[in-house]
Amino acid sequence: MSTMAPDLQPVTKPAASKPKPTDRLLMQIIGYVALTLLAVFCLFPFILVLSSSLTDESKIIEDGFQLIPTSFSLEAYGILFKYPQEMLKAYGVTISVTLLGTLFGLFLTSMTAYVLARKDFKWRSHFSFFFFFTTLFSGGLVPWYLLIVNYLDLKDTLLVLILPMLMNVFYIIVMKSFMSSIPEAIIESAKIDGAGDFQIYLQFVIPLSKPALATIGLFIALGYWNDWYNALLFISNSDLMPLQYYLYRLLGNMDGMRKAMMAAGAVVSSDIPTESLKMAMTIVATGPIMIAYPFIQRYFVQGLTIGAVKG
Amino acid sequence: MKRSGFWNDVKKYKVLLLMLTPAVLFFLLFAYVPMAGIVLAFKQYNYTGGVFGSPWNGLDNFRFFFDSGDAWRVTRNTALYNIAFIVVNNAVQIFAAILLFEVAGKWFRKITQTVMFLPYFISWVVVGAIAYNLFNYDYGTINVLLNAIGLESIDIYNTAAYWPVILVIVSAWKTLGYGTIMYLAAITSIDTEMYEAAEIDGANVFQRIRKITIPNLYPTLIILVLLAIGNIFRGDFGMFYNLVGNNGLLFSSTDVIDTFVFRMLTTSNEIGMSAAAGFYQSILGFATIMLANYAVRKYDKDRALF
């Protein structure tokens, strides 16, 4: 909050009645109560899932999913970590896809944004329109799907999990508007010193764009980490299933899960705690996000706040 | 004498153009080339013919799409849900943002904001698992609670009527933190002198909010609403697909254009109709975005998309 300069002008109008402190108190009460309710509303589903994952399967069958485990049991996690091959494979896929996708995506996005931000580039508005138009109109799902499956032959490849999501016009725009705020003088003086366009990008613009790179990078990474749609459409090879898609399959198809586990080791079908296992896998699939969240959320807040102010 | 011809410019901007090439290729390939595939909406697709060899069938796919009642159902659902989302989500977010601004405790503010932002970070698959945890007929927490107070279990996954409410609540839950942060940013940029002046004039907290805070949020709100209206025919596939899945019983109230197109393509193998519905959505979307942008431009030229 800005500190106000002392009000030097005498108040000449008749003294209005001072706002009673009770309205402030009421505001605080409403604020604390409502915000607490909203926070609980946002948080309790997670607690529910966590608790269900830690509840003994027989208790779930009997009493259903409860907020607090009536009978504590690590059995579901035990099974997950006893036969972790599938889960680890999924983690591996997601981590590689996220790393590669974020790296290349960030590089390409920032490079494109740089060119579009260069005010001396004659055709920048033409190219901007070229990119921007894709957000207004599209050919729809079918042509895109057929292109990837029939013509590019990308089905069941790691590339198909990375490539279609690599560039996003919105991120280009955000980064471009950030780069536009870099003082023209810096680029000018670099050009006078004889630096090439790409050199300017690498040596000057990138270092100065660290906040935007961090924010957009995290948005891209989050998108990759949570992606299941591309796998849903294009992946049937169980070695290439990313984490969220693996979870999706498990949730909808416990039989498949059972078979995989029985194939991995002698496990009697009736021993598998299906309900708590679903919840345990959910926690495992979203665990890293939850752990990283407190540290990375401020970058998102930062990005959103700047974006909101800039309109 | 022409000093700078087109090719001179190309030479001059050689490096910049090179730097643009990956992005240009990317969007050419994944955005513009598929636009040619729109012809599929007017063809009877078969695998041997492919996109360009399959025979034309005029407007048959569209006729099928509209005559079956599907077109009306999915369009209505998509638009109504988006309207509900716009209204409810923005209302809740503005409410939360104002409270966050007014509430005194710094740690309380930080913690509640952090918690409210959390749902934004999880995938819709995880949300689907949460929904299962809550709505399942046999084990779901909602039925557990209902039974505990003596009421009978409700079959949520088999009753279409519950879902409009459910989906609106879920959407509000998922987007709460994100939107609140944006509105909070807008509120904090309001000049505090206005508040202090109002206080001197005798306004209480609620009047301040009504007369200063909210009117200052109108610009942000109007832009967001108009842009959302531009997208009124686009449904969030992730949300609908993970919560509803392939549960046909719920389609009357939950099927949106995106889930319909997906299902026609992957399950029903109705390539033609899927393409027709997709094209229909693209055209509608384009029209509404143009209209919405026109409206935004009339209101505040700087805020328009283009």
CA geometry: angle at B173 spanning B167 and B178, to 5°? Answer: 125
Tell me: pLDDT of A299 over 90.
Answer: no
Chain A interface includes B152 (CB < 8 A): no
Q: Do A35 and B112 touch (CB under 8 A)?
A: yes
Tell me: pLDDT of B303 over 90.
Answer: no
d(Cα A142, Cα A145) in Å, to the nearest integer?
5
**Helix or strand or coil: residue B78?**
helix
Candidates B30, B50, B125; nearest CB to A247: B125
Tell me: pLDDT of A215 over 70.
Answer: yes
Of residues B64 and A287, which shows the higher confidence score? B64
Q: Give the pLDDT mean for B64-75.
A: 94
B204 pLDDT band, cuts 50/70/90, is confident
Selected from 1.10.3720.10, 3.40.50.11890, 3.90.420.10, 3.40.710.10, the CATH number assigned to the domain covering A78-310 reads: 1.10.3720.10
Considering chain B, what percentage of its residues have pLDDT values greater than 90?
73
Instruction: Mark whether B64 and B49 lie in a shared domain.
Output: no
Q: What is the gyration radius of the CA atoms in chain B, in angstroms?
A: 25
Read off the tokens for A288.
């890293």
Instruction: Mark whether B247 and B125 lie in a shared domain.
Output: yes
Q: What residues does A72 pair with on adjacent strands?
A: A55
Taking residue A28's Cβ as centre, other Cβ atoms within 10 Å add up to 16
Contact B64/B273 with Cβ under 8 angstroms?
yes
A1 pLDDT band, cuts 50/70/90, is very low
Please report, for chain A, the start and end positions of each structural domain, with discontinuous segments joined by +: 25-73, 78-310
Chain B interface includes A303 (CB < 8 A): no
Tally the domains of chain B.
Answer: 2
A88 pLDDT band, cuts 50/70/90, is very high
Chain A interface includes B19 (CB < 8 A): yes
Tell me: pLDDT of B170 over 90.
Answer: yes
Contacts of B32 in chain A (CB under 8 A): 134
Residue A19 pLDDT: 52
Which amino acid is present at A13?
Answer: K
Q: Is the dihedral of CA A232, A234, A238, A242 positive or negative?
A: negative
Q: Give contacts of B 227-286 with A, CB under 8 A.
A: 237-238, 242, 245, 258, 261-262, 265-266, 271, 274-275, 277-279, 281-282, 285-286
Q: What pLDDT, in 10s, does the model give residues A107-156?
A: 999 999 999 999 999 999 999 999 999 999 999 999 999 999 999 999 99
Residue A163 pLDDT: 97
Residue A222 pLDDT: 95
A271 pLDDT band, cuts 50/70/90, is low
Q: Do B139 and A61 touch (CB under 8 A)?
A: yes
Q: Torsions phi, psi of B202, nearest 5?
A: 100, 10
Instruction: Mark whether B138 and B47 lie in a shared domain.
Output: no
Read off the tokens for B39.
């012809």
Residue A23 pLDDT: 84
Residue B284 pLDDT: 95
Residue A102 pLDDT: 97
User: What is the CATH classification number for the domain harbouring B215?
Assistant: 1.10.3720.10
Instruction: Mark whether B102 and B191 lie in a shared domain.
Output: yes
Chain A interface includes B13 (CB < 8 A): yes
Chain A interface includes B108 (CB < 8 A): yes
Contacts of B40 in chain A (CB under 8 A): 142-143, 146
pLDDT mean across residues, chain B: 92
Chain A interface includes B72 (CB < 8 A): no
Q: Do B205 and A23 touch (CB under 8 A)?
A: yes
Contacts of B192 in chain A (CB under 8 A): 1-2, 4
Query: Is residue B13 in some structural domain?
Result: yes
- The domain in which residue B45 lies consists of 6-53
Q: Do B185 and A16 touch (CB under 8 A)?
A: no
Instruction: Mark whether B26 and B144 lie in a shared domain.
Output: no
Q: Give the pLDDT mean for A38-48.
A: 94
Total CB pairs under 8 A between chain A and B: 299
d(Cα A85, Cα A76) in Å, to the nearest integer?
15
Instruction: Mark whether B49 and B80 lie in a shared domain.
Output: no
Element (DSSP H or E) covering residue B146: helix B141-148
Instruction: Mark whether B206 and B175 lie in a shared domain.
Output: yes
Q: Do B37 and A28 touch (CB under 8 A)?
A: no
Residue A17 pLDDT: 52
Q: Do B177 and A201 touch (CB under 8 A)?
A: no
Q: Do A31 and B121 touch (CB under 8 A)?
A: no
Query: Is residue B1 in some structural domain?
Result: no
d(Cα A8, Cα A283) in Å, to the nearest integer?
60
